[in-house]
Each structure stands twice: as C-alpha cells, then as structure tokens.
Amino acid sequence: MAKASAARRRRPAARTAPRRGNVWDRVDTIARNLWWTWNPDARRLLESMDPALWRATTQNPIATMAALSATRRQTLEHDPVFQKNLAHVEAELARYLNAQTWYDREADASQKKMRAAYFCMEFAIHECLPLYAGGLGVLAADHMKSASDLGVPLTAVGVLWRHGYYRQEITPSGDVRVLYPPSDFSMLPVRDTGKSITMMIGSSRVKAKIWVLMVGRIPIYLLDCDIPENKPEDRKLTHHLYGGDREYRIRQELLLGVGGLMALEAMGVKPTVFHLNEGHAAFCGLERLRRLVKKGRNIEEALEEVRAASVFTTHTPVPEGNDRFDVGLTLKYLRPYMRDLGLDREAFLSLGREDPEDTKEPFCMTVLALLLADGCNGVAELHGHTSRKMWAKTYSAMDPDDVPIGHVTNGVHPESWLDEAARPFYDKHLKPRWVGAGPDDDWWARADKIPADEFWALRQMMRRKLISTLRSHMRDQMLYHGLSFEEIDELYSSLDENALTIGFARRFALYKRAPLIFKDPKRLERILCNADRPVQIIFAGKAHPLDAAGNEYVKFVHEQTRKGPFKGKILLLQNYDTSIGRLLTQGCDVWLNNPVRPMEASGTSGMKPPLVGGLNFSILDGWWPEASDGRNGWNIGDGREYSSRTKQDAADAEAIYSTLERQIVPAFYKRDRRGVPQQWVKMMAKSMKTICCRFSTHRMVAEYVRDYYWLAHG
C-alpha cells in the first residue's frame, strides 16, 4: 500500500481546470497528438468544430480548422459547451500522459534506461495521414499506440510520403483507376522539427527534412526529401510508397535505414535497441556496422555488437515479397560500404545472400536483416515455422528447428477498432479501465456474463449502422461514376439491415483468393437469395497498381456485383482504407478469410470483429490456428495443404459452401421467441472472451519488450 501511495504522490496531477490562452492554439495541441484517434471524447470535440467539414477532410482536424468560416470560429470561441468540452479533453490528455504505465511498474532500473528505435516504411495511424499501403502499416500503427499506452520508451522512424500509396477508383466497367493526390503537409497533424539530415545516396547528396508525428507518448520522425534544396530526381524519393522501379526502391530503403539512423541522431535520440519492422530498413544495420569498423572494431566484433542490439520482424512468407536487388544495382549504391568494411566483393554480397557460394544470387534485404539481428521473429506461430523453413539455407541449417527465428503473434489496438457507439455497452458490461492498463488486463473475460438479448442488440446496432453508412457511401460512389438514379434506388432497397452480413476486406493479392466464393455461382446464389434467410457480402480491397492479376480480381468481383442474382447482394467498395476497415470489421456479422495456407503471415483484420461480437470464418492460416477452438468461429477446411492450387481451391470452396449451408446460416436465423439467436450469441461471447485480450497489441508489445527488447538492451 505504501509503495502504491508513493507512486501516486510522484505523478503530476492531471490538469482539470480550463487552460488560458488562444482557443485555437489549444485545439491545435489536441489535434497534433494522434491520441485523439483512439479517444472518443477528443474525436467528438474535433468533429464538433464542423461535422460536414470533418467528413470532407477525411477527419483531418488541421484541415478542418483551416477551412472553418470566420463566423463559425467566432461562434466556437464564445460557445460555453465547446469550451467545457475542450477543457475536459485537455484534462483527459494530461491524465493519460501523466498516468503510471505498465512499463513504469514492470521495468527495473536498468530496463528503464532502454530506448527502442522502431523503423518501418509505413504507418497507418489514421486515414487523414496517407502514409500506408496495407497491413504492415496498420500493424505498425497499432504497435505505436500500444507502446504509448504501455509507456514503452520507443521512438519510431518512417517517411512522410507526398503522394503515399494510391487512391483507388473502380470504374463502372470494373477497371481500376490509380490516382496519386498530393498531400499538403501544412494541412496534416505533423510538426516541422526544424532539423534535417544530409546523406549520400549513390552519387547524390540528398537532404531530408525531419517532421514529427506524435502518437500519445510516442514520437515518429518522418523524412521528407521533397524540398527545394534537392535535385528533381531526389525530391521524388519520398513521393510514392512502393512505387517506381528497383533503383527507386533501393534509394528509398537507403533513406529509411541510413537516413532514419541519422534522423534519430539529429533529434538527440540514442537508441539501445533497433527494431526493424520488415526488411525495408535493413541498411540501418549495415550503417551501424560500418561505423563500428571505422572506429576500429574488427568485422567480427562489429557484427556481434550490431546483432546483439537488433530485432528484426519478417512479415512475408512469399518469396516475391522480399526485396531483392541485382548485383550491379547493389554495388552501385553499396560499394562504399564494401570498402569501409574491408570486405571483398563476394564476402560483402554474402551478407545479403541465402547461399554465399552462389555468385549470381541477388542481394536480399530480408537476408541482410536476418544476418544482422540476434532477435528475429515471424508474426504468428505458423508463420514462425514457415519462416524457419523458408530461411534455413541462410543459416546453413539442415533442420528448420535449428533456425533462430521465433514468433510474436500480431495483435490489434482495441480502442482504435472499437466503435464509439459500443462504448456504453462496454462501460455497462465489461467496465474497462483503459488508462494505465497492462497486457494482462482482460475486460473481455466477462463476456459470457452479458445477457444474450443485450449482446444481440449490440450486434444488431452495429450491422444497422454499417448498412446505413454503406447506403451513403455507395450512393456517392455510384453518382461519382454517373450511374442512374434507378440503379441507386435499387441499391437502397436491396441492402438489408437485418440480413446475415459477411465481410471480406484485404489486399487483393492472388494468394488471398478474393473470388474463391464465386467458384460455384449457382450454389452461392441459393445461399444468398433465400428469401427467408438472406445473406449479403461486402468486399473491399486493393491490389498493387502494377499487379495486373490482382486488379483483374478486383474487376471480376465488381462484375459479379452487377450480375442479376448478385446485384444488391454483393457490394464492392472502392478505395479501401482504415476508415472502411473499421466500418466493415465493426458492422459485419462474419469475417471471411480464405488465403492459400501457409501464405498468410498473420493477418489482423479478423482480430477486430470480436470486439463487437463479430465472428471469424477462416482458413487455418496466419493467426487463426492459435485462436480457433471450434466454438469461437468456423474453420474453412482442416488445414490440409493440397499438391495443386486447383485441388486446394476446390476443397476450400466446398468447405465454404457446406459450412455456410449447414452451420452459419442456420445458426444466425435460429431465433427464440424474443428473436435472439441463442447459439449464435453464445459463440459471440466465446469469440470475444478468447480473442480480444490475447490478440491485442498490448500483449504483442509486451512480448516484444520482455522477449526481445530487454534482451537486446542487455
């Protein structure tokens, strides 16, 4: 008791009285800490400035403030309700930042001196910041938010993309139109640090400006080369995420790895641990190695020191997804490293080769990252096993079990993916205490105590909210492409807020098999079009703009939405982003996932629906084999891997149809006299109870800290 009292005395008191000063400076302070993205009171405050502008600016508080009319600004400055809400949010932010955290409680004196640096090419903090392409960025963002909640001393490094990933438009014929609208950084919730770095990239002297994005307690430093001091080709380095040719990519990865290290130094950050999230930043380790050798360490000593402080997370079980550069291109940009390390050509290139004896093998960023890190992990138990098999050659291992790659299963940041409409339900039944929470605080353990009728009412509310929003979203999408009012009216009448709703939203890579459910159209029609037990499916997703086959999948699914029996029963939303991801994971009753096993590293989208009673229907791949217990969702097949893709598709499609026909649809529509599907709700409770805590990024970040960061810190 005395210890707890002392801890309370040491903490500064949260600010509760309204602050003096300019109202808009105070709002700007709230807006520039992305804590608001997971605090509902802060979001409501920012939205209340002008709800229509808020929507028009993709929920961007800086752009919303800038666009406010003089009349509206004056009204808010003298509005007692706005002033009261602003003071309340300021106090909430102060309470959050001043709270004792899990890390405060867990770390010993030495561990409190740890400083982790986290490198990633993309961060999906919020849709108003288009700095991400997909799951890697979503995972990195949730890592930052949980690191902030847990109080982990971590600083991140990334890139401030001028055009980001692409905006997807799907034309009436189903073709994908790729757009790259530029960002005005003055209208984003980032700050110019006033600092910059200058580095050599090949023969170019490149300057990068350093911006900072605050995510609760966590700063993310973002590099920007699109400045007048650079040559035109160098300014383009930070234009497009995952765009351009191989030379463009290697130059970007030098910027992230080497420039990111320099940015930390410029900002006075002295990491004791370096965490590379995917191989894009592997040149960070190479630069650290070079510096140690130039200081007088021999190569073996330098390698040992770099490895000891390095953590590397691999996300890609598909060989093509790991960046490789041919020998000529590699030496064009890395020859100074070869010279400074005192290595001959083949010894140097072997740092990025699975087989050091193969002189024709290209240089692989994943291999470089693996060889320069003692702490390596996949992102699910199955993915760890797949990675050990995949990279056994890199370690000259005959037995994959001898490969030193572990696993930390991914998670999601619960507050970011919990709809604010569900907060009263949580407060009543689960009673979460979010501020100061640790990885083992399991509010969801109480899920099986929730009255079935109230749990079902939540699910009904979330689905109805989804359908209402979809009607508006699809109307805008159809009007944008010039479709008739008759077609729009038909859409309104066909969407059913009471029908079983299935969601499929993810990257349209071939192995994720978006069209699999259409393998037997007649059978699918019978499932969807039963008047007594209707079913509807909502699709969303992007393929890489250069992935012609993936974009053909988009076109195929679009064509199905236009066909007679599926019209109004199947929808495809364009421009999949985090806002659509939240909408679908919160509103859909069933989350469909059917990749080719074992090609899904982890996946996190399916971890989100259980937060509000959604259920998973998935191949036993990625994270799902760890979660599935036969009572908290449905499996597609039994995990068997067939010798041919044709056989695999046939078996998995059959499993989808038969499970829908015999289990999922009957359970959803079997109601008691009060209209509650008791069996379904029991499964909802089991899903929430077994998934939400175990697959949160609080648990994930704590695992990184305990099993990787503290070991690397020494």
Summarised one tens digit per residue, pLDDT across range 553-612 is 999 999 999 888 999 899 999 999 999 999 999 999 999 999 999 999 999 999 999 999
Q: Which residues contact residue 186 at a Cβ distance below 8 angstroms, ignoring those fewer than 6 apart?
A: 62
Question: What pLDDT does residue 574 have?
Answer: 92
What's the DSSP call for residue 33? B
CA proximity to 538, closest of 552, 528, 546, 548: 528
CA proximity to 597, closest of 551, 638, 543: 638
* Cα–Cα distance measured from residue 42 to residue 60, given in angstroms and rounded to the nearest whole number: 13
Q: Please name each of the domains of the chain with its CATH number.
A: 2-100 (no CATH), 108-410+702-713 (3.40.50.2000), 452-695 (3.40.50.2000)
Which amino acid, residue 113? Answer: K
Q: Which residues of the chain have pLDDT under 70?
A: 1-20, 492
* Cα–Cα distance measured from residue 695 to residue 146, given in angstroms and rounded to the nearest whole number: 12
What's the DSSP call for residue 256? I
Residue 11, helix vs strand vs coil: coil
CA proximity to 528, closest of 568, 588, 489: 568
* Cα–Cα distance measured from residue 263 to residue 3, given in angstroms and rounded to the nearest whole number: 39
* Cα–Cα distance measured from residue 324 to residue 238, given in angstroms and rounded to the nearest whole number: 20
* Cα–Cα distance measured from residue 158 to residue 260, given in angstroms and rounded to the nearest whole number: 7
pTM for this entry = 0.95
The phi and psi torsions of 413 (rounded to 5 degrees) equal -85, 105
Which amino acid, residue 539? Answer: F
Taking a C-beta distance cutoff of 8 angstroms, is the pair 218, 147 a contact? yes
E-state strands within 594-698: 615-619, 633-636
Q: What DSSP element (H or E) covers 505?
A: strand 500-505
